[in-house]
Amino acid sequence: MNSNHRNKPQISIITAVFNGEKHLEQTIQSIINQTYENMEYIIIDGGSTDGTLDIIKKYEDKIEYWVSEKDKGISDAFNKGVKVAKGEYINFQGDGDGFVSDDALEKVFETINPQEDVFISAQIQRVDQNGHELYISKHKDRFDKRSLLFRMSLPHQGLFTHKSYFQKYGLFDVDNVFCMDYEHLLRSYKHFPKVVTKDNVVARWRADGLGNGKTLEIFTEYDKIKRDNKVANAFVLSCIKYWILFKYYVKRIIQK
């Protein structure tokens, strides 16, 4: 191991998958082809019955750890991955997601201090089910935690979380169906850690996951999560809830 390798923080990339044969191989290749040296790849499969396991076995010499067994959903799968992860930073890439270039991680971790930087957030490319770009997420120079009151402004495909955060705030709540990563962030809202923002696009986020077409259900879970974590008083949260719903319905009317 050279000195350059030792000086770079280890990154654990976790993929939770269930019957993901359509896009999994593309995701795996985007991860194992990274030029960043100090990285491990973990796959947690929920007991797939399609060709997912054949794809995993094809690349298992490049995968640090994988398991296939029934689970209690994405949160449970994420938790299994976190428990075995050895990296200083943890990132989640779903099947269908993945890094946009082979040097994506190199660019994100060029100037990072693992002793201070808890969250590292790079931009993501949102794509439709066919891989066509919908938009690129935008960053301000300084992250404002108040953006989390309105939306998930730190999507997990572009977020690298120091393992100390999991040690302090615990694992994901398996009772959350869609927004487990959002709830996990809001646990620390009142004393939110430092976020280092990166202007480069690191990963793609494909619009075909569990939450696809479930916008109102997601909004309901968002509202419950915010209230459970007491991120603002009830009146403010109600105003935010109805503002979000107002924009949603206006957008639907315009698009008809």
pLDDT tens string 106-161: 999 998 999 999 999 999 999 988 888 999 988 777 899 999 999 999 999 999 99
Instruction: Report the amino acid identity of residue 186.
Output: L
Rounded Cα distance between 198 and 34, Å, is: 18
Dihedral, CA of residue 71, residue 76, residue 77 and residue 79, to nearest 10? -140
Is residue 106 in a domain?
yes
* CATH number of the domain residue 205 falls in: 3.90.550.10
Count Cβ atoms within 10 A of the Cβ of residue 103 and give its class: 0-12 exposed, 13-18 middle, 19 or more buried. Answer: middle
**Helices H / strands E in the chain, number of each:** 9, 9
| Strand ranges for the chain from DSSP E | 11-17, 39-45, 65-68, 89-92, 98-99, 119-127, 133-136, 159-162, 195-206
Is residue 51 in a domain?
yes
In order along its 256 residues, the chain shows pLDDT tens digits of: 344 455 799 999 999 999 999 999 999 999 999 999 999 999 999 999 999 999 999 999 999 999 999 999 999 999 999 999 999 999 999 999 999 999 999 999 998 999 999 999 999 999 988 888 999 988 777 899 999 999 999 999 999 999 999 999 999 999 998 899 999 999 999 999 999 999 999 999 988 766 567 889 999 999 999 999 999 999 999 999 999 999 999 998 998 7
Helix or strand or coil: residue 152?
coil
Is residue 218 in a domain?
no
| Count of domains observed in the chain | 1
Count Cβ atoms within 10 A of the Cβ of residue 226 and give its class: 0-12 exposed, 13-18 middle, 19 or more buried. Answer: buried
Is residue 162 in a domain?
yes
Is residue 251 in a domain?
no
Parallel, antiparallel, or unpaired for β 39-45 and 11-17? Answer: parallel
Give the pTM.
0.92
Rounded Cα distance between 7 and 142, Å, is: 26
Is residue 252 in a domain?
no
Determine contact, residues 121/154, Cβ cutoff 8 Å. yes
